[in-house]
Amino acid sequence: MVSRVNVPKGGFNFDNYQRNLILQQNGYSMPKATKTGTTITGMKFKNGVILGADTRATGEALVQDKNCPKIHRMAPNIFCCGAGTAADADKVTDMVASQLELHRLATGRESRVTTVLATLSQYLFRYQGHVAAALVLGGVDVDGPQLFSVAPHGSTDKLPYLSQGSGSLSAIAVFEERWRENMERDEAIELVKDSIKAGIFNDMGSGFNIDLVVIEKGRADFYRNIETPCPTIEKIGNYKFQPGTTAVLSESFRNFVTITEGDAMDIS
């Protein structure tokens, strides 16, 4: 007996179009994308690559997490910053990182940045932007320091400095003014910190702390909460008021009966 195999159709899939149209005609509103905020940056310097990110995770007008880690370890020599939907960025980077680990165990070789780039790009292109992960990828391998950006649709860029997220315009302005080739490590760290600060101070979706990772040949230094540009201010006033401060217009008291186990409830 021969079983028939359903071969997947190529191109875009519009199977749910008619269903969604009927749902909208019946008054059901389709879900919309949630506005998020982030500032992630990366730049090359004399001996390697530096990646930076803020730590605020938002959903519409609400701050969901004040210390969200946005720098993901892909390999000992490769890291990736994620913007967009936090769950999508976490899932994509974790999946690729696990594949790289298996590849290193099988080959005994160091991971290459282009391998990570191709895997991320192909995966995101497959979903045509519905996996909302905008990434800044950096690392140092046999080809030296490398820096790439990956858009949610899968397109890539290779530049000496990059930025993604809602605060990227402010951050990239700092790089355009001050970046130059072969910067020293300490000077480059300050430049990346200032680029993240620009996003924090000019974008409502970015804020709180700054995370950095400095990747050089044979080493990677991760700095969690290296700086807090907007520290939490202690409350000046005391908001506990004494009884009687506010006038009471009326009072009402009710007696509640406690029913112990085994007693019958009177429902008459």
Structural domain including 73 reads 40-227
The CATH number of the domain holding residue 129 is: 3.60.20.10
**Is residue 216 domain-resident?**
yes
Q: What is the mean pLDDT of residues 243-250?
A: 85
> At 55, is the secondary structure helix, strand, or coil?
coil
pTM of the model: 0.78
**Is residue 144 domain-resident?**
yes
What six digits make up the tokens of 147?
A: 């820096």
Task: Give the C-alpha separation, 15 to 110, whole Å.
Answer: 43
**Is residue 160 domain-resident?**
yes
Give how far Cα 230 sits from Cα of 57, 122, 178, Å.
15, 38, 23
The single residue listed with the structure tokens 């019946």 is: 26
**Is residue 232 domain-resident?**
no
Active site residue 232: no
**pLDDT at 258 exceeding the cut of 70:** no
**Is residue 263 domain-resident?**
no
pLDDT of residue 211: 97
Task: Give the C-alpha separation, 118 to 1, whole Å.
Answer: 41
- Buried b / exposed e over 40-63, threshold 16 CB at 10 Å, is bbbbbbebbbbbbbbbbbbeeeee
**pLDDT at 154 exceeding the cut of 70:** yes
Q: What is the mean pLDDT of residues 143-161?
A: 95
**Is residue 22 domain-resident?**
no
Each residue of 27-56: pLDDT tens digit? Answer: 888 777 666 789 999 999 999 999 999 999
pLDDT of residue 7: 62
**Is residue 245 domain-resident?**
no
**pLDDT at 6 exceeding the cut of 80:** no
Of 34, 36, 38, 246, the active-site residue reads 38
Structural domain count, the chain: 1
**pLDDT at 267 exceeding the cut of 70:** no
99 with 66: CB under 8 angstroms?
Answer: no
**Is residue 152 domain-resident?**
yes
